[in-house]
Structure 1
């Protein structure tokens, strides 16, 4: 395990994709701490709780966020996350991860301050390594 390993949050409703990402991250020993949420609402509640100093809570340093999910999609999550991000003690890098190659989605995501980058599914191993090392 690299000493630079970061804790990871995956927000995505595609269980097959999530399981693949987890296997790649663990196989390449990029992170031991991974939290997963099936929609933005679950993840937002988790981050809101982390602002209230819940000691056992992992505050991930990297978020991989899907755009198209039920209950609360990625765009809605970003909008709400922007409101609470300053209350979170750690710096968090948020990566939008989507199968969309629509330039409007890419440009919209990249224009948002809290978004570090836009990655197209499937994420390549090189991208995981660059982000998590």
Structure 2
């Protein structure tokens, strides 16, 4: 798989999960640049500071995090001006396999896919097809 996106972001409070997911995405050459955050707040602060051209094309977001969880992130992300976030797609990457979490997450405009951990090559293949459409 050649680099699918130029810039991607991983948000997960587990440093172990971040390490594994980052390594996995690097092995499969998923993106040219990969930024990681251990909290939704740090990620939101960073995203809000970016110019439109510097926004990532894709965000992998965990739902179960302290302080601001994934849904809190999505609510705050929706407050970023539409012109700045319109091309950012969000993939939920979480340990939750709850149907209600899936439905709730997919109700957000920028959320395009839901993956239950652990991230697998088959997940990236499905995601590649979704992003291409």
Select the structure that is richer in strand.
Answer: 2
Paired with 2:3 and 2:101, the residues of 1 have a C-alpha distance of 34
Decide whether the 8 Å contact of 1:66 with 1:97 is kept in 2: yes
- Measured after TM superposition, the shift of residue 87 of structure 1 is 4.0
Decide whether the 8 Å contact of 1:97 with 1:120 is kept in 2: yes
Q: State how 1:24-103 maps to structure 2 within 5 Å.
A: 24-51=24-51, 58-88=54-84, 91-103=87-99
Q: Which runs of 4+ in 1 moved over 4 A?
A: none
Paired with 2:108 and 2:4, the residues of 1 have a C-alpha distance of 26
Residues 85 and 6 of structure 1, relative CA distance in 2, 3 Å threshold: farther
Say whether 1:11 aligns with 2:4: no
Paired with 1:21 and 1:94, the residues of 2 have a C-alpha distance of 15
Partner residue of 1:112?
108
Residues 117 and 5 of structure 1, relative CA distance in 2, 3 Å threshold: closer
Farther off after superposition, 95-104 or 72-81: 95-104
Q: TM-score, normalised by structure 1?
A: 0.84
Structure 2, unaligned runs of 5 or more: none
Cα distance per residue 1:59-115 (max 9 Å; x no partner): 211100001112211111100101105141661110111111111111111122221
Structure 1, unaligned runs of 5 or more: none
Q: TM-score, normalised by structure 2?
A: 0.84
Say whether 1:23 aligns with 2:23: yes
Number of equivalenced pairs: 129
- RMSD of equivalent CA atoms: 2.2
Paired with 2:99 and 2:86, the residues of 1 have a C-alpha distance of 31
- Measured after TM superposition, the shift of residue 32 of structure 1 is 2.7
